[in-house]
């Protein structure tokens, strides 16, 4: 992950939370959590996986989840445009995926491997692997492959990113929506 990714993400969070009133405690809590996450990451920018510095890794993942939770809370209160929050939520989920990577190398942004899976987060690769032999899986079916470790909302964000990137197709409306790999 590029070193300035988290810095840009924190700056974007600041711009979005600028629209919140100064007396709103969520504004300051979000900013403090984002800054703490950035500080922890840049204390050791060579941080690559959960295998090293496990305590700090867990704290960073907790901070990412806290930021995501607070962003969801603020967006539900409709203080700011939903699209701004969707972008922040997607990028924090992407960063969390980076923290969960099993490999000992940082993720590539553009297709670095022959099968093109290197450019996806750990969760996204797992989704692709789950969908490969199947056709038309629902979110509830997909969430089972993660043994309850992620929420349906997090899974939907990953699926939306895969749809935007042209890897997954969604058919149907809302609760009846089914996902499958795009035929190439």
* 21 vs 116: CA distance, rounded Å: 43
Residue with structure tokens 């969760």? 123
Q: What's the alpha-carbon Rg for the chain, to the nearest Å?
A: 17
Phi, psi of 112 (to 5 degrees): -100, -15
The verdict on domain 117-181 having CATH code 1.10.10.10 is yes
Per residue in 27-57, pLDDT (tens digit) is 999 999 999 998 888 876 555 444 456 677 7
- Please state whether the predicted TM-score (pTM) of the whole model is above 0.75: no
**In CATH, what class is 3-99?**
mainly alpha
Region for residue 135 given its phi and psi (left: phi exceeds 0; alpha: psi -120 to 50; beta: otherwise): beta
Q: Count CB neighbours of 60 within 10 A.
A: 20
For the chain, give every residue range classified as CATH 1.10.10.10. Answer: 117-181
Residue 75 is predicted with a pLDDT of 81
């Amino acid at each position: 992950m590029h070193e300035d990714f988290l810095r840009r993400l924190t700056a974007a969070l600041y711009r979005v939370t600028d629209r919140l009133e100064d007396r709103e405690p969520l504004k300051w809590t979000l900013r403090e959590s984002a800054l703490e996450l950035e500080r922890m990451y840049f204390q050791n920018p060579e941080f690559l996986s959960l295998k090293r510095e496990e305590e700090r890794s867990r704290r960073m993942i907790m901070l990412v989840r806290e930021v995501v939770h607070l962003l969801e809370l603020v967006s539900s209160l409709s203080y700011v445009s939903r699209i701004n929050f969707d972008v922040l939520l997607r990028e924090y989920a992407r960063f969390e995926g980076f923290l969960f990577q099993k490999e000992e190398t940082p993720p590539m942004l553009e297709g670095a491997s022959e099968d093109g899976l290197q450019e996806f987060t750990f969760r996204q690769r797992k989704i692709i692997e789950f969908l490969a032999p199947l056709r038309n899986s629902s979110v509830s079916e997909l969430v089972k492959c993660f043994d309850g470790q992620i929420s349906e909302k997090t899974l939907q964000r990953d699926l939306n990113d895969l749809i935007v990137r042209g890897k997954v197709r969604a058919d149907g409306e809302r609760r009846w929506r089914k996902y499958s790999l795009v035929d190439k």
